[in-house]
Chain A
């Protein structure tokens, strides 16, 4: 079964605390800044304060470490491959040798450096999605992309599409779950036979899922039209974003904190 637990990357984690009370625009800007600035860090030691900062954010937001680790799982393979290539294929002073593979001191340093950068990046981005609901996130993005409208970029339409897509992910997951349960009850199995047989076994899930998605899309379109939705028109919001003093303080703090370690060699 797909289950609701497996969709961790980009999953909102209801709670409260400093990060939850911040404006989504602020969170997007601050975290984006952190993610960019760590690419300019030159030393492994610069990562330590950033790592501690992110860790303290995780702790004050009361997000279980288990969930963060789960979010890291998808990039585990990428991490291993990155580490492997850096460890063994960086020329330099050899520490030890297995067959043709030479572990070099430079490679070890570089590998750990890039590995930690990757981990911190994922941690920051999951911190953002853990503490910001998808709707808040898109609202923040919409506001931040408004200047692009001047350049004839259809940002409100695109954001509306993203909002609808995000809104229907849980619905789709639930629906898929329901259909899987029903087909399994009719004796279907998805882990038997060769690749072709397995691919074929997905048809009884995908067809009903498509059918219901199309139906749902049509219903949604009608409902939106009935409420006078017109693409591209300026819309109003029930919940407006409010930028508070704490947001300014937080943003300035992040910018100063991130820049402090830029020059550690």
Chain B
């Protein structure tokens, strides 16, 4: 596990990365009176399926919040190969996360504190954004999509979307079922 370790992204969430916000999403943010009242938080569970293939590599996975113009309102996490024989080696395959790369990745200096993390093995993995995480605290009320994109070496690519409304009025869980590179993904919003 790298220095951005297993839980690193949970505790480093407060690091601001406003430069990746698209102007459109900034406009949305400033047009509201103020973003979500205190304590709402977000938890996403991503299942990486166990695949019966002869050559298996852990997938690259990106989770982000997209606004209605498909611009990135917040980057939640990106799992990619952090270690390698040379510095930054694993970043070579980040563009395979096609949508994420276009919407956000290509404009980032990797690694990004609180976002970058190592690839995960098959199983369920939970990512939480705490209520005081700036990414949530500054998320303007409105309609969003949780985007989940996975791409695997010698494998395929899959993109899933979970639409949601922010902030939540009551605790809500939304699910989507992947078919190839992703299993079940669920999003729980807690007011």
| A and B: bona fide binding partners | no
